[in-house]
């Protein structure tokens, strides 16, 4: 059974940093691309970042480019999102999502809440 479990969320002040993690199990993590998607309170889904299986290809949404860094450790079956220079508008539930089937986000974690507030 595919499982994705996010952690690392919490309350942080504007300008601060946070590192999210996503632990994957139940599939060959090293073979598949991964993504981070976020959802602000009461709002829709916003794709944040993509990383290919070998980390050779990485993309970011314009809203986080230059502030967030996606990475993965295939030996640890883990995905990460380093978030720097956080803003109020980064407040959201952050989900990791896999691309096992391809061309879609087929499995999602339960999400971790990031709150940016002074």
Q: Indicate the SS3 state at residue 14.
A: coil
Using the rule CB under 8 A, which residue among 80, 90, 95, 114 binds another protein?
A: 95
Structural contact between residues 92 and 38, judged by C-beta atoms closer than 8 angstroms: yes
CA distance 115 to 113: 6
CB of 103 to another protein, least distance (A): 5
- Select the residue interacting with another protein from 53, 67, 71, 108 (CB under 8 A): 108
Distance of closest approach, residue 86 Cβ to another protein, in angstroms: 20
Nearer to another protein among residue 44 and residue 75 (C-beta): 44
State which of positions 10-49 bind another protein (CB under 8 A).
37, 44-47
Query: Is residue 101 a contact point for another protein (CB under 8 A)?
Result: yes
What distance in Å separates the CA atoms of residue 13 and residue 10, rounded to the nearest whole number? 10
CA pair distance 1, 87, nearest whole angstrom: 36
Binding-site ranges for another protein (CB under 8 A)? 37, 44-47, 61, 95, 101, 103-111
């Amino acid at each position: 059974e595919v499982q994705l479990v996010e952690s690392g969320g919490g309350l942080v002040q504007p300008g601060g940093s946070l590192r999210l993690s996503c632990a994957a199990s139940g599939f060959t993590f090293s073979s598949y691309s991964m993504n981070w998607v976020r959802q602000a309170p009461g709002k829709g889904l916003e794709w944040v970042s993509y990383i290919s299986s070998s980390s050779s290809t990485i993309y970011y949404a314009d809203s986080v480019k230059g502030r967030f860094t996606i990475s993965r450790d295939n030996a640890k079956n883990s995905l990460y999102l380093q978030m720097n220079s956080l803003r109020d508008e980064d407040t959201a539930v952050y989900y990791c999502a896999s691309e096992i089937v391809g061309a879609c986000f087929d499995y999602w974690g339960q999400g971790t809440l990031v709150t940016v507030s002074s």
